[in-house]
């Protein structure tokens, strides 16, 4: 076999569907974890500087955000290992592996592991749907603030109504208590908040984090289809293996009968 033919055969053993799903999963998780971590830090900074000057008012929120950042570290580590495991499972269950390494036999343990991955990926997919929906909440909040700032700018440009009466009250979202001071921002103060780097970065990073969560959901759905296909392949392979074992046993019995018949015929003659 030439080097070119060997390379073509090796490339034929790559599970491209699992590889694409793994890359998409890694990219989505990286965007969600990295951008979400930085965006949460910027959100705390905005609240402390403009909406809740007393530390005791947002102490619970700061603890929750810090806990979420630790959870982000765990999510990143878990999905890094889980993606590699699913990619390895794709390598060992693809039909090209059978062509590369010869005939292999599936076991009940292997089929059980494949079924377990299908169930676990389904559960993770449902969980990430919830994460995707939850990550859209800060995007909605920042969009409301940004749109309010745009209204203030348009009023100032047209010089119709002063924008001092247009306010954004963060307390209505429930992230800080109602006794937080000042709790809201109006007119030029709100416009200055929208012009800060913390607001600009946090808003766009939350959008990217939401997109990363959506990409992760798509990757898990892709993985679920791949794992279901691989499990069906292993199930069919086990049936074929049982058929071949029965066929080999019957052929061996037939050979034994023929050999005994020849022996009896020789002894008779």
Q: What is the pLDDT of residue 130?
A: 93
Burial readout 109-128 (b: 16 or more C-beta within 10 A, e: otherwise): ebeeebeebbeebbebbeeb
Q: What is the pLDDT of residue 27?
A: 94
Q: What is the pLDDT of residue 117?
A: 87
Concatenating the DSSP letter of every residue in 92-126 gives HHSHHHHHHH------HHHHHHHHHHHHHHHHHHH
What predicted TM-score, i.e. pTM, was given to this entire model? 0.79
Q: What is the pLDDT of residue 17?
A: 83
d(CA 148, CA 154) in angstroms, rounded, equals 10
Q: What is the pLDDT of residue 126?
A: 94
Q: What is the pLDDT of residue 213?
A: 94
What is the 3 state secondary structure string of 200-241?
A: HHHHHHHHHHHHHHHHHHHHHHHHHHHHHHHHHHHHHHHHHH
Q: What is the pLDDT of residue 134?
A: 92
Q: What is the pLDDT of residue 133?
A: 93
First-last CA distance in the chain: 53
Q: Which residues does the chain have with pLDDT short of 50?
A: 96-97, 99-103
Q: What is the pLDDT of residue 9?
A: 67
């Amino acid at each position: 076999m030439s080097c070119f033919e060997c390379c073509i055969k090796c490339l034929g053993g790559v599970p491209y569907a699992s590889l694409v799903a793994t890359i998409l999963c890694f990219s989505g998780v990286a965007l969600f974890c990295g951008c979400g971590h930085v965006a949460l830090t910027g959100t705390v900074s905005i609240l402390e500087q403009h909406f809740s000057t007393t530390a005791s008012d947002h102490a619970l929120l700061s603890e929750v955000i810090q806990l979420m950042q630790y959870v982000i570290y765990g999510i990143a580590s878990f999905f890094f290992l889980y993606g590699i495991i699913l990619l390895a499972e794709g390598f060992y269950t693809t039909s090209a592996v059978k062509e590369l390494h010869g005939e292999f036999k599936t076991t009940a343990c292997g089929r059980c592991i494949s079924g377990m991955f299908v169930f676990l990926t389904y559960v993770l997919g449902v969980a990430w749907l919830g994460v995707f929906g939850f990550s859209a909440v800060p995007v909605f909040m920042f969009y409301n603030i940004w749109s309010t700032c745009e209204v203030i700018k348009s009023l100032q440009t047209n010089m119709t109504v002063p924008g001092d009466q247009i306010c954004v009250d963060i307390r209505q979202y429930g992230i800080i208590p109602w006794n937080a001071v000042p709790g809201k921002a109006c007119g030029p103060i709100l416009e200055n908040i929208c012009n800060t780097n913390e607001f600009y970065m946090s808003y766009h990073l939350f959008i990217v984090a939401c997109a990363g969560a959506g990409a992760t959901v798509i990757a898990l759905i892709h993985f679920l289809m791949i794992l279901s296909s691989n499990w069906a392949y292993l199930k069919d392979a086990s049936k074929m293996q049982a058929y071949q074992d029965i066929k080999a046993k019957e052929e061996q019995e037939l050979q034994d009968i023929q050999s005994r018949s020849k022996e009896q015929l020789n002894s008779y003659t």
